Every structure is written in C-alpha cells, then in structure tokens.
Chain A
Amino acid sequence: DTAVSQTPKYLVTQMGNDKSIKCEQNLGHDTMYWYKQDSKKFLKIMFSYNNKELIINETVPNRFSPKSPDKAHLNLHINSLELGDSAVYFCASSQDRVVYGYTFGSGTRLTVV
C-alpha cells in the first residue's frame, strides 16, 4: 500500500490549460503539503493544510489553488498554465508538526508546452 499517492505521475499539457493533481495519504497524518521541485532540484514549499485548514501559503501565483476536502486528501489545481510551471510537484504529509519528518508522494512531473 502506497502511503502517499499522487495522480497523475506525468502530465503534459498546453499553455493556458487548467489541470489538477490529486494527493491522498493513508498514514492518518493530519498535515499535508505541496512542494515544487524545479529543474535544479530545489524543493520549495507552496502550501500546507492541517486538518483541512490552510496553514502555509507561500508566495505562489493565484493561478495555483489547493483544496483539502478532508485531512487525507490535498489536491492542487492550476489555472492558465505557463511554461514556467513545468516542474515536479511533490505532495507530502506529516503527523504532529513534522515530529517524524515528511513522507513524500512519488511526484507529478508537469510539462507545459
């Protein structure tokens, strides 16, 4: 059983489109995150939800909108995709403020053409 699962694994889309990435965790964790990893491998936090409440919202364009229907799910919707959005997006989860570190999903490689 995959602890943190993301879908899709690969996403190729044209500029201007709207797309969503889904994330689910079965670890019983109460906090979930979205990170963006660019071509230089830098991991940058985008959002975090704790028990469905947004707790971290970094400087991210308004085109990115997270949604957490319950504490086991955190989805990422991106409007009007741009070339610069191409990256690998990782979902992660943790319990009790990262006491044991994050568990990452397998990532979604987004390519905007």
Chain B
Amino acid sequence: GENVEQHPSTLSVQEGDSAVIKCTYSDSASNYFPWYKQELGKRPQLIIDIRSNVGEKKDQRIAVTLNKTAKHFSLHITETQPEDSAVYFCAARRDSSYKLIFGSGTRLLVRP
C-alpha cells in the first residue's frame, strides 16, 4: 500500500545552521508533495509544496527537492532560527486520490 517514510525522527541543530529532512514514498504514481509544520499544541500548517513536474522549489529560507526516479524528496531549511523549532511532516498523494499520506514527522530543535 501507500507509505511515506521520513527521517530523521528528531533533529537538533545550532541556530544559523542548515537542517535537512528526507522522505521516501512508495507509490510511484504520487505527484504532489507538501510539507507541513506543526508547532507545539497547534495545527499542522502547509509551508511549501512541490509537484512532480518540478525538481526544486524555494521560498526564502525553505527549499524542497524531488527525485522522482529514486522516489525521494527533501526539505531544506537554511539559517535556522529558534522559531523554526517544530514537528515537520512530509506527505504525498496521487492525482486520482483524495488521500494525503503523511510521514511520521521530524521533531526539529534549533538551539539558540
């Protein structure tokens, strides 16, 4: 069945350093890959997404890369700040499905 694996489960970085979170999906028909940020006690919020016809997308300090051949996609956060501390979820879905399959989440801690 559909599955999205996410690594690492926890990530601690020094403020100003970069953080990378990686996901692998099993359904080769997946073509939409969003990333969500969930702060403590809050709702997941969409921060960036990428579609299968694009290899990379950037939005200020956040970027996402997609390797369709390897079925990998990654979130890159540069110049991390303490307010980036949260749980980050990757997800994947295919056009023919309403279902968004989430990864297991990465708890990012940015140390001041």
Contacts and interface: CB of A to CB of B under 8 A. Distances in A.
Interface of A: 31, 33, 40-45, 48, 50, 55-56, 90, 94, 97-98, 100-107
A107 B43 CA distance: 6
The number of chain B residues touching the other chain, given as a range, is 20 to 34
B43 A45 contact: no
Interface of B: 32, 34, 36, 38, 42-46, 49, 87, 89, 93, 95, 97-102, 104-105, 107
A106 B95 CA distance: 27
A100 B95 CA distance: 12
A1 B99 CA distance: 27
A102 B100 contact: yes
Given A56-B99, A101-B100, A106-B43, 11 more contacts: A41-B87, A41-B105, A45-B99, A94-B98, A97-B98, A98-B93, A100-B46, A101-B49, A102-B34, A103-B46, A104-B43
Interface of A is mostly: strand
Given A55-B98, A56-B99, A102 B46 contact: yes
12 contacts: A41-B107, A42-B102, A43-B89, A48-B99, A50-B98, A55-B98, A97-B98, A98-B32, A98-B98, A101-B34, A106-B42, A106-B43
